[in-house]
A and B are shown apart, each in its own frame.
Chain A
């Protein structure tokens, strides 16, 4: 093969390599766009609230372990049937605790319950701010606050 042909071949291969790089980038761009569209749809379907409680542990029927409860800006927890979240657990007081969403964060306060409200293993003495991912124990029911 002559030198001239070899140089042409190398030029073609080099341009092919660069073209392949940009084909790859184009495919990434397309995948990103498709993913964003899909994300909008799922966000509309599943993420309307400000947060949710995942039930990690529960001795009674209600609520059952693994349940995901969407919560509103003022949510009460207790053994009273009028609580936003009803707990079938004799260790929970009638109106045991309340979760409120103020400003940019969730707060939990104890409603003078007998056995106390616990956040990440500590009994709370006054209303405290919660982070997403914190664990909350009311009676014998253990929740995790998620986004």
Chain B
């Protein structure tokens, strides 16, 4: 019976989150049809069922991992589903299955949640990640090269591998593999990297021989990413890498050095690559070419302006121009602009609050982990989700240059959803293991816990 009492915090947080979807779907239906009726609720039923199912499987298996992560992710997913349900359904979706956009996204939610549960419960030992770190790093590099050579081009960037009716974005999987590689390397060499080093006047030089192998692999990856014009992903990888390096060593010089490197690299990219040049110019002044390169940014700014504090209301904003929505990629990269228009500043702030919850929990799981590899892995995975959210939200708001990456759990897209849920599964499994060993320790009586201390 105690199984029913398990994960009560998670259930308590999940229930109000799950109310969001039916409420949002009903509001959208009333606004779009002009009739005060409930309308079709299948989308809400499926979403609530999937989330409750994932919760119940975790509770039934006796999982002891973090209980705030799934509700936070579910809340982001709920906002995403409400928006995707509200947008025209012909924006995306696989024609082979005829499910519409929101239907296809729900299928991916199902696959993603199943993967999350399997990883959270199934990964009892991280040896297959820790011991094969170079293999994961190589696999990531190989996938990158394959995408560069054989990928199909969408919007000027080679990001997709298409096999028959299915396409996927390898960069999502590569992100996770790279975090595994860097975590493994840093855990193995943490003591050396954080310890004594050469000093050159007031500057402490890092132990170069130990840092070099990782820097070489990383530079190669960055080069490929930049050549494939996937700038958002390049920024994301770099940010995650610096975060992990700082957590491993506790040295500000590394972060400073990284920041300088970034500014120099960005400057060089601005001068060398015309598409970088264009992105930056568009960011600084989108109104220079409001109907061409600046169109997307200008439309997003108008959307936020129309939204105001409370929003136009679900289903009442986003006026169509010539029978289509004015913001390009509104269901993927620009979904935050749609949320800003229909749910206003308050909706946007709530979204940022959820991102903050995910970061807090990720770092907490990292702190509680018993070994360096788990700490590094949790830090990198959580930083990946959060930085990705911040880069694309900032891009929508014209705070940073706009780059094409998805908002995790919110944007339409199967690869992103699946990879993000696998990340949550890994975080849950790390959290479960550290809590399990704590239990094992406190189960012993105080006398037997440390007899060796008194043996002499």
Bind each other: yes
Q: Is the Cβ of B34 less than 8 Å from the Cβ of A32?
A: no
Contacts of A28 in B (CB 8 A): 13, 68, 71-72, 353-354, 357
In the complex the two chains form, what is the Cα distance from A106 to B372 in whole Å?
Answer: 13
- Given contacts A17-B27, A32-B357, A54-B437, A45 and B442 within 8 Å (CB-CB): yes
B119 CB to closest chain A CB (Å) equals: 20
Given contacts A10-B313, A132-B371, A133-B371, contact A17 B24 (CB under 8 A): yes
Interface string of B98-128 (1 = CB under 8 A from A): 0000000000000000000000000000000
Known contacts A15-B310, A32-B68, A105-B194: A147-B370 contact under CB 8 Å: yes
Please encode chain A, from 125 to 137, with 1 for each CB lying within 8 Å of some chain B CB and 0 for all others: 0000111110000
Cβ contact within 8 Å between A17 and B314: yes
Interface residues of B in 1-55 (CB under 8 A from A): 9, 12-13, 16-17, 19-20, 23-24, 26-27, 30-31, 34-36
State which residues 49-98 of B face A: CB under 8 Å. 67-68, 71-72, 75
- Are A14 and B357 touching (Cβ within 8 A)? no
Contact indicator B371/A46 (Cβ below 8 Å): no
| Pair count A-B, CB < 8 A | 157
* Docked complex Cα distance between A17 and B188 (Å): 48
Cβ–Cβ contact B20 & A21, under 8 A: yes
Query: Inside 8 A of A18's CB, which chain B residues have their CB?
Result: 310-311, 343-344, 346-347, 350
Nearest CB to that of A86 among chain B residues? B455
CB-CB under 8 A from A32, the residues of chain B are: 68, 357, 360
Q: Does A50 contact B (CB under 8 A)?
A: no
Interface pair B441/A68, CB less than 8 Å apart:
yes
In the complex, are the beta carbons of B191 and A105 less than 8 A apart? yes
- Nearest Cβ on chain A to B433's Cβ, whole angstroms: 11
Number of chain A residues close to chain B: CB under 8 A: 54
Known A20-B23, A32-B357, A104-B195; contact A46-B438, beta-carbon cutoff 8 A: yes
Interface size on B, residues (CB 8 A): 67
The answer to whether the Cβ of B187 comes within 8 Å of any Cβ in the partner chain is: yes
Which chain B positions have C-beta within 8 A of A44? none
Point out the residues of chain B lying under 8 angstroms from A10, CB to CB: 27, 30-31, 313, 316
Least CB distance, B134 to chain A, in whole angstroms = 15
**Cα distance, A111 to B444, chains bound together (Å):** 31
A16 to B27, CA, bound (A): 10
Judge whether A60 is part of the interface by a CB distance below 8 angstroms.
Answer: no
B27 CB to nearest chain A CB (Å): 5
Residue among A21, A24, A81 making CB contact with B347, cutoff 8 Å? A21
- A-B pairs with lowest CB-CB distance, top 4: A133-B371, A129-B191, A105-B191, A146-B370
Contacts A17-B20, A46-B441, A52-B441 aside, 7 further interface pairs with beta carbons under 8 A come to A10-B30, A24-B20, A25-B353, A42-B438, A66-B440, A131-B372, A133-B371
